[in-house]
């Protein structure tokens, strides 16, 4: 159907005195399916002029647009139709599907709910409602609607697959496995279900079975990015790093901006244990910022919760400042035991309790006497997200903190700039040495690296820009993933190697910490992250680098899309 048609976008309903034929909807779809577009255009234009206030006309227009993949354009005619035929379950479902395809999940939910209310045996509507709810984090509601769809139609492999995904998301891997196996009985060549079954088996630590299942999925769908990523993670756990890297590389070939594939490859190529605890403890600007914020917040009535004990430094600061009591948790047993000894050595054992647990397993009434008035944490990796800060704060606000509790830091952000300079380039890539071309070695070097040295001359080719922001005090639920474009104006000529990233912490409204790459600090647990371009790019002032920023709850990444010259 020609995209020039204007009948779906502004004609609006008018009064009419006749009704369209009962077969109008079916007739228009038949013309579309037979690709008789001229007759279809004529029929629809005549219908809009003759029966502008009849839902079936707008429904036909909207459904055809859905079939053409014109989801955004379909919204207006489908909404018009839904307002004219408020009892049409299929119509409400179609509108919900349009919003689903546009990834506007919150807008999809009420239309799909209305469809299920109008037609309680509408299995497809319940299943699609589950999809929308799962995408916005309503996992229990999604699970309920998938189960309702399956009560209506037990032989519904797609609903079984989606139910399994929700169970996987809740780490209920055994139940999820059962769903995927039922789906595969109904649809043996269901590559997506095989991939998701692999995820369940990996979660159950049945790694050899998981590998076999991922490979079977890929035999059915060789270009399936998610299966390559899942296989890569499984092979990494099976201590087969070369094969794991090959899987992640294939995923990147298929999906160049796929965050998890890049992160998996980086993990595989550079799997080392970071030795950052000691410089972190000796980081004076960091310590001053935390101490000043604690001094402004702690009173004799304050109950403090610290997530991530480390050496116990922040807990002892809180105790010295007069907190009523400090509870601190540390998941690494050796660190927790050492911290408890340090606390005792410094005379704060009566004020500070060290618990060797994840914060998400703490219980009020068991580990904490009552909910805390203040949360302090430094579970921030050099790239900001790598230690699970978002999920930990979400959980603490929901279960462990009093309403309105203070959080230190209150806000945080990831900042970026373009960088170059001979010093830094010699430490992150190689080209010619003694007349030999060694550049192929760059292919096995992680594209995301950490710069631990502070003696390198790093040339910033742009001003710093706030790329990703988080309000810990003001937000209860953080997005699980985001990806968007950022324009970075180039302010200095040079050979650009990539993007350099650092962090900024607003402890409160007064005290701020930022490890800007231009500032030298002799000891810091936070390093600067660099995201290397495949090859360096010569840039000039006035140009703009179009950067794609992407993050989930555990990591972030920055990709170069292109350099634009105005």
Q: What is the mean pLDDT of residues 327-349?
A: 92
Residue 169: partners with Cβ closer than 8 Å, 6 or more residues away: 134, 139
Tell me what pLDDT residue 3 has: 36
Dist CA 541 CA 489 (whole Å): 8
User: Tell me: the pLDDT tens digits for 140-164?
Assistant: 999 999 999 999 999 999 999 999 9
**Residue 330 CB partners (closer than 8 Å, separation 6+):** 308, 309, 310, 336, 339, 354, 355, 356, 357
Q: Which pLDDT score, from 0 to 100, does residue 275 have?
A: 60
DSSP 207-233: HHHHHHHHHHHHHH-TT-HHHHHHHHH
Chain centroid to CA 98: how far?
Answer: 23
Q: Residue 545: phi, psi to the nearest 5? A: -90, 120
Is 198 in contact with 224 (CB distance < 8 Å)? no
Q: Where in the chain is the domain with CATH 2.70.160.11?
A: 411-564
How many angstroms separate the CA atoms of 24 and 5, rounded? Answer: 19
Contact between 102 and 72 under an 8 Å Cβ cutoff? The reply is: yes
The pLDDT assigned to 335 comes to 83
* Mean pLDDT (the chain, rounded): 91
In sequence order, the β-bridge partners of residue 483 are 550
Structure-token match 């546009």, residue found = 102
239 pLDDT above the threshold of 60:
yes
What are the pLDDT digits (tens) for 117-132? 999 999 999 999 999 9
Token readout for 285 is: 């600007």
pLDDT tier at 278 (50, 70, 90 boundaries)? Answer: confident
What's the whole-number mean pLDDT along residues 434-438? 96
pLDDT band (50, 70, 90) for residue 12: very low
Angle at 420 (CA atoms; ends 417, 424), nearest 5 degrees:
110
CB 331 within 8 A of CB 307: no
Q: How far apart are CA 115 and CA 340, in angstroms?
A: 58
The position carrying tokens 């340090």 is 342
Q: Confidence band (pLDDT; 50, 70, 90) for 346?
A: very high
Strand-pairing partners, residue 538, are: 495
- Using H for helix, E for strand and C for coil, what is the string for 509-558? CCCEEECCCCCCCCCCCCCEEEEEEEEEEEECCCCEEEEEEEEECCCEEE
| Cα distance between residue 357 and residue 392, in whole Å | 12
Using pLDDT thresholds of 50, 70 and 90, give the confidence band for residue 8: very low
Q: Delimit the CATH 3.40.50.150 region(s) of the chain.
A: 277-408
Distance separating alpha carbons of residues 173 and 165, to the nearest angstrom: 9
User: Is the CB of residue 424 less than 8 Å from the CB of residue 457?
Assistant: yes
Q: What is the CATH number assigned to the segment(s) 1-85?
A: 1.25.40.10
Q: Is residue 66 a contact partner of residue 50, using CB atoms and an 8 Å limit?
A: no
Angle between helices 71-84 and 89-101 (to 10 degrees): 160
Structure token digits, residue 6: 């204007």
- Does 1 have pLDDT greater than 60? no
Which tokens sit at 140?
Answer: 């229990």
CATH of 411-564, one of 2.70.160.11, 1.10.645.10, 3.40.50.300, 1.10.287.990: 2.70.160.11
Residues of the chain with CATH 1.25.40.10: 1-85
- Are 44 and 28 in contact, with CB atoms under 8 Å apart? yes
Whether domain 277-408 has CATH 3.30.1330.120: the reply is no
Higher pLDDT, residue 351 or 9: 351
**Whether the predicted model's global pTM rises above the 0.85 cut:** no
Task: Tell me if 247 sits within 8 A of 227, measured CB to CB.
Answer: no
With CA atoms as reference, report the closest residue to 48 among 34, 68, 35, 62.
Answer: 62
φ, ψ of residue 367 to 5 degrees: the values are -95, -30
385 touches 419 (CB < 8 A): no
Residue 43: CA count within 13 A, CB half-sphere: 24
Give tens-digit pLDDT for 469-514. 999 999 999 998 999 999 999 999 999 999 999 999 999 999 999 9
> Is residue 176 pLDDT above 50, yes or no?
yes
């Amino acid at each position: 159907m020609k995209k020039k048609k204007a009948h779906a976008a502004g004609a609006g309903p008018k009064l009419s005195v006749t009704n369209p034929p009962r077969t109008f909807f079916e007739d228009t779809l038949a013309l579309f399916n037979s690709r008789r577009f001229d007759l279809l255009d004529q029929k629809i234009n005549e219908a809009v002029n003759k029966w502008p206030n009849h839902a079936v006309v707008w429904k036909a227009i909207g459904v055809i647009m859905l079939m053409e993949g014109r989801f955004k354009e379909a919204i207006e005619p489908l909404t018009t139709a839904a307002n004219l035929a408020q009892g049409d379950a299929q119509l409400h479902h179609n509108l919900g599907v349009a919003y689903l395809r546009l990834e506007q999940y919150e807008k999809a939910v009420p239309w799909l709910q209305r469809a299920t209310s109008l037609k309680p045996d509408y299995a497809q509507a319940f299943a699609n409602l589950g999809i929308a709810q799962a995408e916005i984090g309503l996992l229990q509601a999604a699970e309920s609607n998938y189960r309702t769809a399956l009560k209506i139609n037990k032989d519904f492999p797609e609903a079984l697959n989606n139910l399994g995904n929700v169970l996987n998301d809740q780490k209920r891997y055994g139940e999820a496995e059962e769903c995927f196996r039922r789906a595969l009985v109904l649809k043996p060549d269901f590559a997506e279900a095989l991939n998701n079954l692999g995820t369940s088996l990996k979660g159950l630590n049945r790694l050899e079975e998981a590998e076999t299942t991922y490979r079977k999925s890929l035999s059915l769908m060789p270009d399936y990015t998610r299966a390559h990523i899942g296989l890569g993670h499984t092979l990494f756990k099976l201590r087969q790093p070369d094969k794991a890297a090959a899987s992640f590389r294939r995923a990147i070939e298929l999906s160049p901006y796929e965050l998890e594939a890049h992160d998996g490859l980086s993990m595989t190529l550079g799997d080392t244990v970071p030795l950052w605890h000691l410089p972190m403890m000796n980081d004076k600007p960091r310590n001053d910022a935390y101490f000043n914020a604690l001094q402004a917040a702690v009173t004799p009535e304050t109950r403090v919760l610290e997530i991530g004990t480390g050496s116990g430094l922040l807990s002892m600061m809180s105790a010295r400042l007069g907190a009523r009591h400090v509870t601190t948790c540390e998941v690494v047993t050796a660190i927790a035991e050492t911290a408890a000894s340090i606390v005792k050595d410094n005379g704060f054992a009566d004020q500070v309790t060290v618990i060797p647990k994840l914060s998400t397993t703490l219980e009020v009434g068991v580990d904490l006497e009552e909910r805390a008035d203040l949360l302090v944490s430094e579970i921030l990796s050099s790239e900001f997200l790598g230690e699970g800060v978002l999920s930990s704060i979400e959980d603490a606000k929901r279960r462990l903190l009093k309403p309105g509790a203070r959080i230190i830091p209150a806000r945080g952000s990831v900042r970026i700039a373009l960088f170059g300079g001979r010093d830094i380039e010699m430490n992150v890539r190689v080209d010619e040495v003694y007349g030999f071309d060694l550049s192929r070695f760059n292919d096995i070097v992680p594209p995301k690296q950490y710069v631990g040295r502070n003696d390198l001359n790093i040339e910033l080719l742009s001003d710093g820009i706030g790329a990703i922001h988080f309000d810990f005090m003001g937000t209860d639920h953080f997005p699980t993933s985001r990806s968007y474009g950022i324009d970075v104006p180039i302010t200095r000529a040079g050979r650009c190697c990539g993007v350099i990233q650092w962090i900024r912490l607003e402890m409160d409204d007064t005290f701020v910490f930022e490890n800007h790459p231009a500032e030298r600090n002799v000891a810091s647990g936070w390093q600067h992250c660099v995201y290397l371009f495949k090859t360096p790019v010569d840039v000039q002032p006035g140009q703009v680098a179009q950067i794609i920023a992407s993050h989930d709850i555990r990591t972030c990444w920055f990709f170069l899309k292109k350099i634009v010259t105005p």
